[in-house]
Amino acid sequence: HSKEQGRNRFSRYNRASHSRGDADLALESALRQALDRDEFHLVYQPQFEARTGNLHGVEALLRWNHPQRGAISPSVFVPVAEEMGVIGELGRWVLRHACRQAVAWREKGLHNITMAVNVSVQQFYGTIDLAEQIRTILVEKGMAADRLEIEITESLFMQNIEEMRANLQRIRDLGVKIALDDFGTGFSSLSYLRKLPFDTIKMDRSFVSDINQGREGSALAITILNMAQNLRKKCVAEGVETNAQLTLLRDAGCDYIQGYLMGKPMSADDIFDLSQQRTAEAS
């Protein structure tokens, strides 16, 4: 391990603030070993262009298969990794694997798809220079910067908004796209829209599921879409599960859709097969 990683591993490791249960502690020690033991893998959920149904890209989603406890959800272990100070290391693993996969697909003939990667806001603090790390990985893997999209969730840790703006801008200067994930659920959403440089709004799943509840239910989804258009940003709707949701989102001008209706998170091979089916259907 490099010096940088070694330091980050422990510097933010602080459990003085509150006492934690045995379950958390067991998870922590397991998480420390998981990277070395190769217990992580990525799955990929397809994102489609709403208007044409073409495959637009994928979102890489992290999976942890614990040898005894089985699959553990990222919503459980990512926050623990953040708190432990290992999110920098884990995030770097994710970026490298996702970029390597994108290039592997390209070599098999699957071009022009975007690879979206979740980046925790904590990762900015657990890494000396995230933009430089991303640049290095892109060069190392031979990946075009504009095929990569970073998904950032609004979070309380964005306290220092000016610093975050500068960090994101440096990543964007590489040509990498930036998406605001889970849009509408976090803190001060609307002011972030003005202050942070980004390309894409990812409408949170809760607004999509409300679409089932009649006209008022779809009001917020439509408002977010209108706002994205007025700001000249792309909009992705996540968690699309029904045809009614799909139709409403498409007709209201949503650019991209993602959800169980069109495809669950799947293996890299399944994404490739799916892309071939689509090509066959189109020709």
Is residue 149 near ligand C2E by the rule CB under 6 A? no
Fill in the DSSP letter of residue 11: H
Is residue 120 near Mg ion by the rule CB under 5 A? no
Is residue 83 near Mg ion by the rule CB under 5 A? no
Ramachandran area for residue 270 (φ above 0: left; ψ -120 to 50: alpha; else beta): alpha
Of 152 and 248, CB closest to Mg ion = 152
Binding mask 71-90 for ligand C2E (x = CB under 6 A): --xxx--x------------
Q: C-beta of 109: minimal distance to ligand C2E in Å?
A: 26
Q: C-beta of 182: minimal distance to Mg ion in Å?
A: 4
* 85 binds, options Mg ion, ligand C2E, none, Cβ within 5 to 8 A by partner type: none
User: Contact with ligand C2E (CB under 6 A): which of 46, 265, 268, 271?
Assistant: 265
Is residue 181 near Mg ion by the rule CB under 5 A? yes
Residues 46-65 that bind ligand C2E (CB under 6 A): 61-62
Is residue 95 near ligand C2E by the rule CB under 6 A? no
Q: C-beta of 155: minimal distance to Mg ion in Å?
A: 9
CA distance 80 to 48: 32
Is residue 197 near ligand C2E by the rule CB under 6 A? no
Is residue 101 near Mg ion by the rule CB under 5 A? no
User: Contact with Mg ion (CB under 5 A): which of 133, 153, 218, 258?
Assistant: 153
3-class secondary-structure state, position 109: coil
| DSSP H or E stretch at residue 83 | helix 74-84
User: Contact with ligand C2E (CB under 6 A): which of 259, 268, 271, 275?
Assistant: 259
Is residue 154 near Mg ion by the rule CB under 5 A? no
The gap from C-alpha 82 to its chain's centroid, in whole angstroms, comes to 15
Of 270 and 283, CB closest to ligand C2E = 270
Q: Which residue has the tokens 């008022």?
A: 216
Q: How far is CA 207 from CA 11, 131, 237, 254, in A?
A: 38, 32, 9, 13
Please, are residues 81 and 87 in contact by the beta-carbon 8 Å criterion?
Answer: yes
User: Any long-range contacts for 100-105 (C-beta under 8 Å, 24+ apart)?
Assistant: 100/141, 101/42, 101/44, 101/60, 101/268, 102/141, 102/143, 102/147, 102/148, 103/141, 103/142, 103/143, 104/268, 105/268, 105/271, 105/272, 105/275
Is residue 255 near Mg ion by the rule CB under 5 A? no
- List the one residue out of 93, 162, 80, 94 whose CA is nearest residue 122: 80
Is residue 122 near Mg ion by the rule CB under 5 A? no
Backbone angles phi, psi at 143, to 5 degrees: -105, 140
Provide the binding-site residues for ligand C2E, judged by CB under 6 A.
Answer: 45, 61-62, 73-75, 78, 91, 94, 118-120, 151, 153, 181-182, 238-241, 259-260, 265
